[in-house]
Amino acid sequence: MTLDRLDDDRERRFSPWLTLDAHAGAPTEPGIIQVKLLGPLLVYPRGMSQMVHYLAGSNCRTLLDAAVCEAAVRGTGDAVRWRWLGSEAPERDLARLLARFEARFGAPPAWPEPSR
């Protein structure tokens, strides 16, 4: 299962995956940012996924700035990819995406614990 679009809207799709160094090109419109880690799939209770984080708000670039900071703190910057989806109701659409993720994988998306 891929969460590349909202299930009731076949026209609105997430952008292509981008690297964190492309964050300055993120749109300033309202929307959702989806973040994944490259490498081995992360284990969730009912499956595996690369997704670790979703954010929603009135400015995708501001959201992505927060994701860049989180990746830097976790030391995962080079392995992070992101994409965006414009939305007139980002919080509502995020709730729908998170509900689909949790139904499929048995838990919300989460950054992995740092390795020691």
pLDDT in tens, 77-102: 788 999 999 999 999 999 999 999 99
Q: pLDDT averaged over the chain?
A: 88
Decide if 12 contacts 86 (C-beta within 8 A).
yes
CA–CA dist 103, 101 (Å, integer): 5
Question: In this structure, what token pair is assigned to residue 23?
Answer: 């964050």
Global pTM value: 0.85
Q: Specify the CATH architecture of the domain 18-105.
A: 3-Layer(aba) Sandwich (3.40)
Whats the size of the chain, residue-wise?
Answer: 116
pLDDT number for residue 70: 85
Best mean pLDDT range from 54-68, 70-84, 91-105: 91-105
| 9-33 pLDDT, tens digit each | 556 799 999 998 888 888 999 999 9
CA–CA dist 31, 64 (Å, integer): 11
